[in-house]
Amino acid sequence: MTPLGKRIVRRIASQGPITVADYMAEALTAPRYGYYMSGDPIGRGGDFITAPEVSQMFGELLGLWCVDTWQRMGAPASFLLVELGPGRGTLMADALRAARIAPGFCEAAALHLIEISSKLRDRQREALSGCPATWHDGIANLPDGPILLIANEFFDALPVRQFEHAAEGWCERVVVLDDAGELAFGLSPPSAAAALMVPEMLRKAPTGSLVEVSPAGLGVAAALGRRIAEDGGAALIIDYGSAETTAGASLQAVRRHAPHGVLTDPGSADLTAHVDFAALAGAAEGAGACVQGPVPQGAFLQRLGLAARADALTRKATADQARDIEAARHRLSDADQMGVLFKVLTVAHPSLGRLAGFD
Ligand code: SAH
C-alpha cells in the first residue's frame, strides 16, 4: 500500500468512516503524498493530457477571449488575470503570447495563480519565464479589483460527496475498512441531512440511484459570482461534465492514461468527477453574477476562430507539423473527441452583454 493509503487506513481506524469528498481531498492534495503534491502528472509521459497540452491553439484562443472581454470591460488600466489550477503553466503562457496583440493588455494584467502544489508552482514559474506572478492556495486570498479568470479542468479535481437512494432513504457513501483492513465503500445510515444534500429535483430518483454533489465546487462558483458582481469582470470555466443536474456516479481514477481503481493506491492516480454545470451556474447566479452557456467546447473554439488559427499555423508548417495541427484541431473540437463532452461556461458581470463564443 502507498504511504498515503496507510495514512488513510489509520485515520479511518481511529476516527471511523470518511466521506468520499474527504477521501478525494486526501488522495489529491494531502501534504507530500497527495497526487498533485508529489509530481507532474500532466502530459504524454504522465497520467492524462489536457487541452493546452494538446495544442498551443487552445491557450492562444483563450488569450484572445480575455482580450475581447477586457475591451468590453472598458479596458481597465489594471485588473487581475487569474488562473485556477494552471498545471504546467502552458495555457497561461500561450494566452499571454497571443494577448500581446492588444496594446496595454499585458501591462494592465496582474497575474495571480491559484495552485496548491509547490512542484507544479515551480513548473508554472518556468513556463512563464520572467513574467511576474503571485501564487495563492485559494481564491479567498485574491486582492480586490476587476478580474478575468480561467479554469481549465480545475473543477473536476474538486472533491465530491456521493449519496445513494437506499430503500430506507438517502444515505451518504463513505470509505470504510473491510474485514481484511482494506479500503472499501460503505453506506452511512439514512438521514434527513443526507437527503437535504441531494438536489431537490433528484430526491425522488429511483431506489439505487447515486447522486454526486461538490460543495467545494459550489463554494468556488458562488465566491466567483459574488466578487464578479461586486468588482466586475468574467470567469471562463472549461471542463467535462453535463449541462444539467443528473443522477449517476462519475468519480473515476486514471493512471498512465488508463482507468484505475478509485480506492487502489491512493495518491498514485488522478481522481476526477464530472462537473455539474447547472449547479455551478446556479451558485454563481445566486451570488449576483450572470452566466452564459455552457456551450460545447468544439462550438466555442470554432466561434473564437480555431479553423483560421489552424490554417495560419499550417501555412508555416512542415508536412509532419501540418498533420499534428490537424490532429490537434480534431482532438480539441470534434464531437467524438473533446468537442462535446467538454463544455464552457462563463460567469460574468451583468454589464458585459454577450461574450465571445457564447452567441
Ligand atoms: N489547467 C491545467 C491543469 C489541470 S489539472 C491544464 O489544463 O493542463 C488540475 C490543476 O489544479 C493542477 O494544477 C492541480 O495541482 C490544481 N489543483 C487541484 N486541486 C486544487 C485545489 N484544491 N486548490 C488549488 N489547486 C488545485
**C-alpha dihedral, 137 to 140 to 145 to 148, nearest 10°:** 60
E strands, 107-248, in order: 109-114, 133-136, 147-152, 161-166, 169-177, 183-187, 210-213, 233-242
Ligand 1 atom at minimum distance from 88 CA: 8
CA 183 – ligand 1 centroid, Å = 25
Q: Whose CA is nearest to atom 10 of ligand 1?
A: 85
C-alpha cell at 264: 487502489
Q: Is the CB of 42 under 6 A from ligand 1?
A: yes
DSSP per-residue codes, 42-77 = BSTTSSB--HHHH-HHHHHHHHHHHHHHHHHTT--S
Ligand 1 atom at minimum distance from 270 CA: 5
Q: Is the CB of 26 under 6 A from ligand 1?
A: no
- CA-nearest of 57, 113, 61, 54 to 87 is 113
For cell 508548417, the residue is: 317
For residue 122, the model assigns a pLDDT of 96
CA 168 – ligand 1 centroid, Å = 38
Q: Whose CA is nearest to atom 3 of ligand 1?
A: 87
User: What are the counts of helices (DSSP H) followed by strands (DSSP E) for the chain?
Assistant: 13, 16
For residue 206, the model assigns a pLDDT of 97
Q: Is the CB of 240 under 6 A from ligand 1?
A: no
Q: Is the CB of 87 under 6 A from ligand 1?
A: yes
Residues of the chain with pLDDT under 70: none
Ligand 1 atom at minimum distance from 53 CA: 8
For residue 38, the model assigns a pLDDT of 86
For residue 43, the model assigns a pLDDT of 86
C-alpha angle 266/344/36, rounded to 5°?
20
End-to-end CA distance of the chain: 50
Q: Whose CA is nearest to atom 16 of ligand 1?
A: 85
Ligand 1 pocket: which of 53, 115, 332 to mutate (most atoms <8 Å of CB)? 115
Ligand 1 pocket: which of 22, 28, 36 to mutate (most atoms <8 Å of CB)? 36
Q: How many residues does the chain have?
A: 359
For residue 279, the model assigns a pLDDT of 98
What's the predicted TM-score (pTM) here? 0.98
Residue 324: count of CB within 10 angstroms of its CB: 15
